[in-house]
Amino acid sequence: MIRSSPPAVELQHDIKGRSLWQDAVRRLARNRAAVASMIVLAVIALLAVFAPMLSPHPYDEIYWDRIQMPPDFANGHWFGTDSNGRDLFVRTLYGARVSLMVGVLATAVSLVIGVIYGAVAGFVGGRVDDIMMRLVDILYALPFMFFVILLMVMFGRNIFLIFVALGAVEWLTMARIVRGQTLSIKHRPFIEAAHACGVTRTGIIFRHIIPNVLGPVIVYVTLTVPQVIMTESFISFLGLGVQEPLTSWGVLIAEGARLMEAAPWLLVFPATLLALTLFAFNFIGDGLRDALDPKDR
């Protein structure tokens, strides 16, 4: 005779459930490329913040006697000096500050605007959706460079204008992605259930829709950051970006490309760092997509 035995374990403590987010983090931690990329990014970010303090040279000091010198460890010019005799190591890391800041801040701006805009358009639907998305289409059609040049002419060169311009352009794609995701989940039964429980529309958007569309959004964010860094580099390359003596990777690469034959180190160091950063973000994005959507693999 089989007797049902009492549960062997005393269940007194609450069992902590594993959320889908925690599952995703666990899967991400198993992805070597993604973890390595996060380490690389962390190192670059830390260097950008602290390394200029370690170097004996300020970023805008001109050494008249050391113009366009190759890398030399003896005098502390680890990456050499540029055509104006300034230390390239410090300037590259200052450029990293600007580029990473632009990347992160412009993406954050686009994230906030895009997610809310897209979720509202998708959830409300109907005519509101039509009008909101046509507005996005119109803004999409506006040439980006034209927009940037217009801003520069009107307000002068200012680093915050770059954030504004980049954020204003990047949120459009974000809004489209979020709207699409919202459309696909707004008829799921749990949204209907929230409605039946008396949750307001705003409550449904913020408590139910947004947490559930965040997966693809996070992936897109990690792909937007390198895109924004690239765009900033491009603007700076054209001479519309940050103002001297401040610098960014784009400015440094533009100068390096000009002097590529005479002083290759001017191109190699900033370009390598930029490429490393872009690779890292892309690998993280890839890893996140696999981690958040295990069915997709």
- Taking the complex as a whole, how short is the minimal distance between the CB of residue 195 and other proteins, in angstroms? 6
- Taking the complex as a whole, how short is the minimal distance between the CB of residue 111 and other proteins, in angstroms? 18
Buried b (16+ CB within 10 A) or exposed e, 33-67: ebeebbebbeebeebbeebbeebebebeeeeeebe
Q: Report in angstroms the alpha-carbon separations of 202 from 107, 177, 198, 217, 297.
A: 24, 19, 11, 20, 34
Name beta bridge partners: 87.
Answer: 81
- Taking the complex as a whole, how short is the minimal distance between the CB of residue 104 and other proteins, in angstroms? 25
- Of 204 and 266, which CB lies nearer to other proteins in the complex structure? 204
Binding mask 180-199 for other proteins (x = CB under 8 A): --------xxx-xxxxxxxx
By CB under 8 A, what part of segment 198-257 binds other proteins?
198-201, 203, 207-208, 211-212
- Taking the complex as a whole, how short is the minimal distance between the CB of residue 203 and other proteins, in angstroms? 7
- Secondary structure, 3-state, 38-60: HHHHHHHHHHHHHHHHHCCCCCC
Is 127 a residue that touches other proteins (CB under 8 A)?
no
Q: How far apart are CA 133 and CA 117, in angstroms?
A: 9
By CB under 8 A, what part of segment 8-27 binds other proteins?
11-21
Is 4 a residue that touches other proteins (CB under 8 A)?
no
Which residues lie near other proteins (CB under 8 A)?
A: 11-21, 188-190, 192-201, 203, 207-208, 211-212
